[in-house]
Amino acid sequence: MTNRRIATGLMLAAALAAGVVSAQTAAPRTVARLTALQGNVLVSQADAMAAASNEQKLLSGTRVITTAGARVTVAYANGCSVELGANRRYTVREQDACAEAKAPPLGKASSFAVIGSSKVANTGPTVVNGDLGVSPNTGVTGFPAGRVSGGSIHPGDAVAAEAHKDALKAYDQLVAQRCDTKLSGQDLGGQTLTPGVYCFPGAPAKLSGELVLDADGDSNAVWVFQVGTALTTADKSKVKVVNGGNRCNIFWQVGGSAALGSESEFAGNILATAGVEAAAKTNTVGRALVRTGAVTLDTSTIDIASCGVAGILPIAGATPAAGAAGVAPVAAGAVPVAAGVGGGVTALGVFGGAVIIGGGGYAIWQGTRNDTNVSPN
């Protein structure tokens, strides 16, 4: 009996060992394929590097490398897809780890171009196009000489408190998104990035030169940048969106503070923990929303007019990007057809079911537009 038990135990141990070895040596599964391949794309799998082909099946753990001028889409079986532009390196993961960037709902913060927590301090003729608020503190300095257009100043009131609370929720949702591509140690300048979630885990992000964000014809494309510590942009740096994207669909979640260099052209919504500082003559299309620190401005512009916020008009003299949603040029010399709606804005009537609001040389609409009927005040 004892010998039989020993034999049975040995057989069981051998079976378990075989199972462990089998599990350890199991081949990776096919989880995705390549589509829309253009240019020279390389695939490294099973310890071999080779030129990629359209519709090529990809194993979990495969590396996909794009060269200059190339692009390709990694399409997962569950419907998720990751678009890769030129000079990218991407590792195929399991399907449930595929990341798609999502714009967090901003709630009451959507009408705000600036929200500080401790204070908002300005120097010089800054223009904020949208609401400006501080919560839970109340300090707002430098307005005037700065001015708020298309919105109001909310120093520690209930409106600011609700907006700040919603901005905190949006920050948390950005943090929770799964990183698609790690960029730690890389300069964003000189890169062309397709929609996705990019991260600098525990590290700073730097932009010198020009960052191009390619929407590839998708007007709803979203970019999320998760920055572990500080975001810094060099003087005269630029964020440029091409091929139909919306600059207000860019989100910068910053674990520390963000500092924008002088004369830089920045795009996107900055949701930072410690503060946002915009140096002289910076121009930002988007928002500066801070969790615990201050927003500091110097002869700069922060504008949410092209973010689809009803009733927020482009700053006088500004030219919106070609094809920007919600913005249309107006005919010179036309006469408004309705009384003003406040804040220097004039309602111009209802055309084809759309409410047309004019001001600053441009109009913004809610619903369907008819450019031939848009008139300035």
| 86 lies in the same domain as 136 | no
Confidence of residue 216 (pLDDT cuts 50, 70, 90): confident
* Cα distances (Å, whole numbers) of residue 271 to 53, 106, 228, 326, 373: 40, 11, 12, 24, 38
pLDDT for 88-114, tens place per residue? 778 887 776 676 789 999 999 999 999
Rounded percentage of the chain residues whose pLDDT exceeds 70:
73
- Best CA proximity match to 295, nearest among 343, 263, 238, 254: 254
| 235 lies in the same domain as 273 | yes
| 93 lies in the same domain as 123 | no
Structure tokens at 184: 């730690």
| 10 lies in the same domain as 55 | yes
Among 78, 98, 118, the domain-final residue is 98
| 195 lies in the same domain as 285 | yes
pTM higher than the cut 0.85 = no
- Residue 306 sits at the vertex; the CA angle it makes with 305 and 308, to the nearest 5 degrees, is 90
pLDDT at 355: 34
Q: Is residue 202 part of a domain?
A: yes
| 251 lies in the same domain as 346 | no
Q: Is residue 313 part of a domain?
A: no
- The SS3 of residue 10 is helix
Q: Is the pLDDT of residue 122 over 80?
A: yes
Among 58, 77, 98, the domain-final residue is 98
CB atoms within 10 A of CB 265: 16
Give the C-alpha separation, 193 to 25, whole Å: 36
| 111 lies in the same domain as 85 | no
| 113 lies in the same domain as 158 | yes
Confidence of residue 119 (pLDDT cuts 50, 70, 90): very high
Among 98, 129, 154, the domain-final residue is 98
Confidence of residue 347 (pLDDT cuts 50, 70, 90): very low
| 87 lies in the same domain as 135 | no
pLDDT at 304: 93
Q: Is residue 366 part of a domain?
A: yes
Give the C-alpha separation, 167 to 99, whole Å: 22
Q: Is residue 365 part of a domain?
A: yes
Q: Is the pLDDT of residue 19 over 70?
A: no
Strand 48-51 to 41-45 pairing: antiparallel
pLDDT at 95: 73
Q: Is residue 314 part of a domain?
A: no
What single-letter amino acid sits at 27?
Answer: A
pLDDT at 317: 45
Q: How many separate domains does the chain show?
A: 3
- Average pLDDT on 242-255 reads 94
Give φ, ψ of 117 to 5 degrees: -100, -50
* Cα distances (Å, whole numbers) of residue 241 to 88, 219, 322: 18, 11, 11
| 137 lies in the same domain as 75 | no
| 344 lies in the same domain as 301 | no
Give the C-alpha separation, 373 to 377, whole Å: 13
- Domain hosting residue 358, numbered range: 328-373
Contact 135, 109 (CB under 8 A): no
Structure tokens at 333: 């010399």
pLDDT for 294-312, tens place per residue? 999 999 999 998 776 655 6
| 147 lies in the same domain as 6 | no
Question: pLDDT higher for 141 or 48?
Answer: 141
pLDDT at 97: 67
